[in-house]
Structure 1
Amino acid sequence: MTVSVRSRATAPVARRATGAFAALTAAALLVTGCGADDAKSGDAGKPAAGGTDFRTVKDATGRAVQVPAQPKRIVTLTQEDLDAVLALGIKPVGITNGQGLSEPPAYLKDKVQGISVVGNLLQPVMDKVIQAKPDLILAGDMQDEQVLKQLREITPATLVTMAPTDDWKLSLRGVGNAVNKLADANKVIGEYEAGAKAAGEKLGKNKGAEVSIVRWNPEGPSWMERKQFASGVALDMGLKRPKVQDKEGNAHTPALSLEKISEIDGRWLFLSTLTSDGEKALMDVQAKPAYKELGAVKAGHVVGVNGSVWSTRGGPLAAQVVREDITKALTK
């Protein structure tokens, strides 16, 4: 039996939710008030920077937060929040580097030129955040209360936008509501779902094909569960997962030993890495008989993909990349 482990790609160990937090999701980002007369006491009740035109929303932890009705200077602390606001037509004033990267995500590069980088993923440098002068901070699945306290001193309008078990659609709706663009978020999701279904119908002989989704770590490969981001895109396209991988959950397996490498096999194998050590480990194993005997390898159906997109919790723009990667490979 395979045991799931949580990572930043899905639900990180270091920030795993416990107790009531895990049950609260971005769906809780509902408007509960509007206007200066609704201000409450405490940080969460202060009007956000930039005037008295504000709304009250609840973040993914259930905390009531005053946010600008029309935020002008947004800082995002995760790749997922950045993806979401860009998809909603908003250009933030501060961002963090991508997962496993020392630079912003490559798939968003053309959209973030000139935007200040204020730190690494969920590791903001406070001086840089202050310099960005945010009126709204989207803090992803941040659970470090000390960091959140510092961020709220910069602006009380600091929201935890997702719980570790949220999928990207739920997170997008939460972000959309926080920036007063919930209708736009629903439109983006609707267009994505229609596009994914249509793309799946055009796969010809590979319509409904079986796809294995794997990340190679320094210790070995891990396959993704059904509700993990990239897996969800594949399922939205009408594709199937190998029987051994057809498991509920939004995480990935522990790194598998060479003896269990058959678990990563499938008609098609989409394979990514996140680190140089993972790349080296993958190169080393490709010379071994156990790897060469995989059905996908023999058929020439191994597709290298970008781990900083495929192994994340995702967003609508990342979902488009995954859909395009699958379409290109299966219609080649």
Structure 2
Amino acid sequence: MSPSALPRRPFAGLVLLLGLATGQSALATTVETAHGPVEVGDDPQRVVTLYEGALDAALASGVVPLGAVTTRGGDGVAGYIDDYLAAHHPEAELAIVGVVREINLEAVLAQRPDLILAPPQLADEQYALLSRIAPTVVPLSQGLDPQAWKAESRLYGQALGREAQLETALAEVESRANELAVALDEAEVSGDASLVRWMPQGPLVMSDQLFTTGLMQAAGLRVNDAGLIPGESAHSDPLSLENLGRVDSDWLFLATLNADGQEALEAARTSPAFARLEAVANDRVVAVDGQLWTSASGPLAAQAVLDDIEAALLPR
């Protein structure tokens, strides 16, 4: 069901329904969250994720949630998640319980969850309601930090009772990144790299403090955001094509979120300013999926990003 088809009612209308939510299991563990200690059942069976990083961490630890929110710019989960489910859990059907920053509480309640994995900086009003449905785990916000996703994943793994499985997934990412860095060095592939999200209103240079740019650095690339990121923002203001030259790098990773962004990128490719970029002239422009590269996080997303880097820089 698409998010637009999901019914919405004022929060006050949910109070009676929230009273029907199931209680805690007799066996519980306590996890430290942004809202203080939260007790969760020792083996959650009905999990709903309200954040792409939570969905990724759950799957990486061996748990298939009942519900999830859509990826940014899409009407379902990210393509890499669809691919993972098709390969490992072809029978799984995730209910869509909202979109980014807009959770449908009735849809969440309909799944009768015994655990809700929520995003950092969840609004207090939403937390108050969600926590009446089931124990709700919200990570502490760490601001811009390329390593923050690991702490988030570990918290979700603890809440799921899957710490060991989650640690294995994180160790595999670290090992893979190290191996890729060695392979790139041996192949004498190096240089500066920039990540740009292409939007209809103009290209956005992504910060060097993000999940994906952290992985680029772990693989041995020097990420260049040209100092264009204002304050604690994740990206620059929209740039003109002429100003895009400020982040001209040895490698240019270009991400689009949807068809509009792709059309804008195709139009830009015909402009002289785009053609003058060093990365364009050297055929070192790498088109990547914006839903993965500029929205997702988690162990599975990390492996998919490293796959893209290897395929682009070490083609077979």
Fold in common (TM above 0.5): yes
Aligned length: 284
1:158-195 CA distance string (max 9 Å, x none): 12135162621111111112222223322222221111
Match of 1:255 among 238, 256, 263: 238
How far off is 1:131 after superposition?
Answer: 1.6
How far off is 1:95 after superposition?
Answer: 1.2
Q: Which residue of 2 aligns with 1:273?
A: 256
Distance 1:236 1:267 in 2: 17
**Contact 1:211-1:241 at 8 Å conserved across structures:** yes
For 1:37-116, list aligned pairs within 5 A: 49=23, 51-59=25-33, 61-110=34-83, 111=85, 113-116=92-95
**Contact 1:267-1:295 at 8 Å conserved across structures:** yes
What is the one-letter code of the residue matched to 2:167? N
Query: Unpaired segments of 5 or more residues in structure 1?
Result: 1-46
How far off is 1:116 after superposition?
Answer: 1.7
Q: Which residue of 2 aligns with 1:43?
A: none
Cα gap change, 1:127 to 1:246, in 2 (>3 Å): closer
Runs of 4 or more above 6 Å deviation: 246-250
Distance 2:195 2:72 in 1: 18
Which stretch has the larger CA shift, 162-171 or 262-271? 162-171
TM-score by length of 2: 0.83
Cα gap change, 1:309 to 1:250, in 2 (>3 Å): farther
Distance 1:138 1:74 in 2: 8
**Contact 2:35-2:138 at 8 Å conserved across structures:** no
**Contact 1:225-1:251 at 8 Å conserved across structures:** yes
What is the one-letter code of the residue matched to 1:230? T
Match of 1:323 among 302, 306, 309: 306
Would you say 1:312 and 2:295 are equivalent positions?
A: yes
What is the one-letter code of the residue matched to 2:253? F
Cα gap change, 1:313 to 1:299, in 2 (>3 Å): same
Distance 1:259 1:239 in 2: 25
**Contact 1:245-1:263 at 8 Å conserved across structures:** no
1:195-233 CA distance string (max 9 Å, x none): 111012112434333221111122211222222111111
* RMSD between superposed Cα atoms in Å: 2.3
Cα gap change, 1:237 to 1:48, in 2 (>3 Å): farther
| Percent of pairs with identical residues | 33
Which stretch has the larger CA shift, 105-114 or 78-87? 105-114
Distance 1:170 1:305 in 2: 26
What SS is found at the alignment partner of 1:109? helix
Q: Which residue of 1 aligns with 2:127?
A: 148
1:287-311 CA distance string (max 9 Å, x none): 1111000001111111110000000
What is the one-letter code of the residue matched to 1:49? G
**Contact 1:74-1:134 at 8 Å conserved across structures:** yes
TM-score by length of 1: 0.79
Would you say 1:121 and 2:95 are equivalent positions?
A: no
What SS is found at the alignment partner of 2:239? coil
How far off is 1:140 after superposition?
Answer: 1.1
Distance 1:240 1:58 in 2: 35
Query: Unpaired segments of 5 or more residues in structure 2?
Result: 1-20
Distance 2:140 2:271 in 1: 41
**Contact 1:226-1:249 at 8 Å conserved across structures:** no
